[in-house]
């Protein structure tokens, strides 16, 4: 597959998603720690960005969501969590790893 996005640009996009996600979590933790009830949902373009990346990479297997939401941007280390069709364990601990999976 020949991607419309270079690896460096893809990594930057995923890092931007991660920054927004972490910022929102920290802000809501701040509110909770200071006695504020509820949760603040802040608008952002993450969903639109993910939709676009799905189209560009034809991500039918939902690797993007798995990496971002289930593996928390690769910070959750689940041993043998990702296994390819040949039974080989695939490393998915960075946005670079995700890019390689999407390219193959």
Contact criterion met (CB below 8 Å) for 41 and 9: no
CA distance 50 to 42: 17
CA distance 84 to 22: 29
pLDDT score for 88: 83
pTM of the entire structure? 0.80
For the chain, residues with pLDDT lower than 50 are none
Greatest alpha-carbon span in the chain: 51
Within 8 A by CB and 6+ apart from 13, the residues are 5, 49, 53
pLDDT score for 4: 83
């Amino acid at each position: 597959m020949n991607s419309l996005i270079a690896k460096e640009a893809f990594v930057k996009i995923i890092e931007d998603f991660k920054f927004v996600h972490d910022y929102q979590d920290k802000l809501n933790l701040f509110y909770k720690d200071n006695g504020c009830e509820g949760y603040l949902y802040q608008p952002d373009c993450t969903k639109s960005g993910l939709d676009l990346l799905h189209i560009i990479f034809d991500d039918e297997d939902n690797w993007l969501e798995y990496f971002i939401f289930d593996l928390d941007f690769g910070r959750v280390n689940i041993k043998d969590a990702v296994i390819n069709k040949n039974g080989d364990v695939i490393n998915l601990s960075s946005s670079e790893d995700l890019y390689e999976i999407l390219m193959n």
